[in-house]
Amino acid sequence: MSENPYAIPQSNLTLGSKEEDYGEIRFFSSKGRIGRLRYISYISTLILLGIIAAFVLMAFFGLGAKPYTSLRLHSDFLILLLPLFFVLISFFSLSIQRLHDVSRSGWLTILLLVPLLNVILVLALMGKAGAAERNDFGAPPPPNTLLVKVSSTLFILFWVLGQVSNLLRKYL
């Protein structure tokens, strides 16, 4: 407090939220937290980028060209593992951050390796709201941008339309 009685009043009030109230988004890290819409958006973008990378590699290396020999088949498979490896590492790190957002240990990502439990875990991570306040894993993630909201909505919409289309094709 100033000793001058005519000084301008000072206050700690802030309008809105400060940047330091939110955690930092780290893409290739097991630290921090990530919200569910951002998780859906990032995972769907990763899958799309992985598919595009696989097609580019197939075109560049002439994968799928005949005749196939045993050696050619193995080398093609190894080339296609590169984008898959990138997608899997990113998927696990994002899932760890999402688990941190719901106040769970990142070690639960081991369940992603177990069939059927992996589907349940991913659906739970997409549906469960994260902790609104700071938890043991850090500050809450920043608010979602318009791009995150649009891309996650598009992914959910396309997924639902795909499921409906599959059901209609199966029963009609």
pLDDT confidence of residue 33 = 92
Neighbours of 42 (CB within 10 A): 22
pLDDT confidence of residue 40 = 92
pLDDT confidence of residue 160 = 93
Q: Which residues of the chain are under the pLDDT cut of 70? A: 1-2, 11-20, 63-74
The CA distance from 1 to 53, in Å, is: 60
pLDDT confidence of residue 96 = 94
Long-range CB contacts (< 8 A, 24+ apart) of 79-85?
A: 80/54, 82/53, 82/57, 83/49, 83/50, 83/53, 83/54, 83/57, 84/50, 84/54
